[in-house]
């Protein structure tokens, strides 16, 4: 019988049902599990537990296999929901209702349940029933149009902005906010988490600059989008790159000191018309040495110059090693739980489950733990 993962952290005692999916739902559930919550993921029959390289986003929880189209599977799910604090689902609007486990059904069984719905377009609006992905959600919010070099098409920024910045991070925020409110009212509620909404919040600072006339819609022409030569990346002699973020004047002075340049000999950094000439100076200089030599030269300064590392290099960087930002769990490198807490630190996550558990086992554990502090 699979044992429940060891859990420690500020959310210890919190019970979460996660309906299997991809993207921001499982990522948000991972973060909640990392902080100590008991997350039980519900998968469809036929789920493969013997994957050669496990998906570490599924770490720290148990898996129950249920056929939600059967009476038995539906009854098991609603029983779990009746004992849980939180349920996370990522179906299109109306699907959970048609299958018989929508918010009304679950909250009738458990008035304290926080029912979190993770979608791209949201539970309402003209596009609510349409398919989409991260790229589609960020394209409608203005975020995608702002990313990329001048004179080029928008750059695909991996799926960090919509799926995870606007999705899973906002999912966690919504769940925790509803739990705080529940501690006052005693009641759960439905949380409508839409990646378009979350991405819109993410870009609020840039939107504010735009509304104040301080941000151009032309890509690659602004201070924070690679337009400024003192906030950009540069190729070095070995073909690797540096990130230069010397925004403030005092940091810019340290950048120039490291490059052995005098400010009065350079184009004016405060005049955007002179940025191309200033960038040409930096480009020529950075190409004269390898990346790690530059990184070493600037490391003990406030010039805000750092190496652009790949994932394997990042795992070996001495700062991340010193903080254990990346950890090894049974031979698999992954991110450590974040943030960190002084009184209730999180435990090292357990690997993704390799066998199913049963609803009865979960309910027994939850009943045994029912004496924990109410949240």
Residues acting as catalytic residues: 133, 163
Burial class (CB in 10 A: 0-12, 13-18, 19+), 71: exposed
- 3-state SS record for the chain: CCCCCCCCCCCCCCEEEEECCCCHHHHHHHHHHHCCCEEEEEECCCCCCCCCCCCHHHCCEEEEECCCCCHHHHHHHHHHHHHCCEEEECCCCCHHHHHCCCHHHHHHHCCCCEEEEEECCCCCCCCCCCCCCHHHHHHHHCCHHHCCCCCCCCCCCCCHHHHHHHHHHHHHHHHHHHHHHHHHHCCCCEEEEEHHHHHHHHCHHHHHHHHCCCCCCCCCCCCCCCCCCCEEEEECCCCCEEEEECCCHHHHHHHHHHHCCCHHHCCCCCCHHHHHHHHHHHHHHHCCCCHHHHHHHHCCCCCCEEECCCHHHHHHCHHHHHHCCEEEECCEEEECCCCCCCCCCCCCCCCCCCCCECHHHHHHHHHHCCCCCCC
Contact between residue 25 and residue 18 where contact means Cβ atoms under 8 Å apart: yes
- What is the number of residues in the chain? 375
Report the Cα–Cα distance between both ends of the chain, in Å, rounded.
Answer: 29
Question: Residue for token digits 């010039």?
Answer: 303
């Amino acid at each position: 019988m699979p044992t429940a993962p060891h859990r420690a952290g500020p959310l210890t005692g919190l019970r979460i049902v996660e309906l299997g999916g991809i993207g921001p739902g499982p990522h948000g559930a991972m973060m909640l599990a990392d902080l100590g919550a008991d997350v039980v993921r519900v998968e469809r029959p036929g789920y493969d537990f013997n994957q050669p390289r496990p998906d570490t986003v599924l770490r720290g929880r148990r898996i129950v296999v249920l056929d939600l189209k059967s009476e038995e599977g539906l009854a098991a799910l609603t029983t779990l929901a009746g004992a849980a604090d939180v349920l996370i689902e990522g179906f299109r609007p109306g699907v959970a209702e048609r299958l018989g486990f929508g918010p009304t059904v679950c909250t009738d069984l458990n008035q304290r349940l926080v029912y979190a719905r993770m979608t791209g377009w949201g539970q309402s609006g003209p596009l609510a029933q349409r398919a989409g992905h991260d790229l589609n959600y960020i394209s409608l919010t203005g975020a995608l149009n702002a990313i990329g070099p001048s004179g080029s098409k928008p750059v695909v920024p991996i799926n960090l902005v919509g799926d995870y910045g606007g999705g899973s991070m906002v999912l966690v925020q919504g769940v925790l906010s509803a739990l705080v409110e529940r501690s006052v009212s005693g009641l759960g509620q439905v949380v409508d988490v839409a990646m378009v909404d979350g991405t819109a919040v993410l870009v609020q600072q840039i939107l504010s600059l735009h509304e104040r006339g301080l941000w151009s819609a032309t890509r690659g022409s602004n201070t924070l989008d690679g337009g400024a030569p003192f906030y950009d990346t540069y190729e070095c002699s070995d073909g690797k790159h540096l990130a230069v973020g010397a925004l403030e004047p005092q940091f810019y002075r340290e950048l120039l000191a490291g490059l052995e340049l005098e400010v009065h000999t350079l184009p004016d950094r405060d005049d955007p018309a002179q940025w191309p000439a200033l960038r040409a100076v930096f480009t020529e200089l950075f190409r004269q040495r390898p990346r790690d030599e530059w990184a070493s030269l600037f490391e003990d300064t406030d010039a805000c110059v750092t190496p652009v590392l790949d994932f394997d290099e990042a795992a070996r960087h001495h700062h991340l090693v010193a903080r254990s930002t990346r950890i090894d769990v049974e031979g698999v490198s992954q991110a450590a739980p974040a943030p960190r807490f002084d009184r209730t630190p999180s435990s090292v996550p357990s690997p993704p489950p390799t066998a199913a558990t049963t609803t009865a086992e979960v309910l027994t554990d939850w009943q045994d733990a029912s004496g924990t502090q109410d949240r």
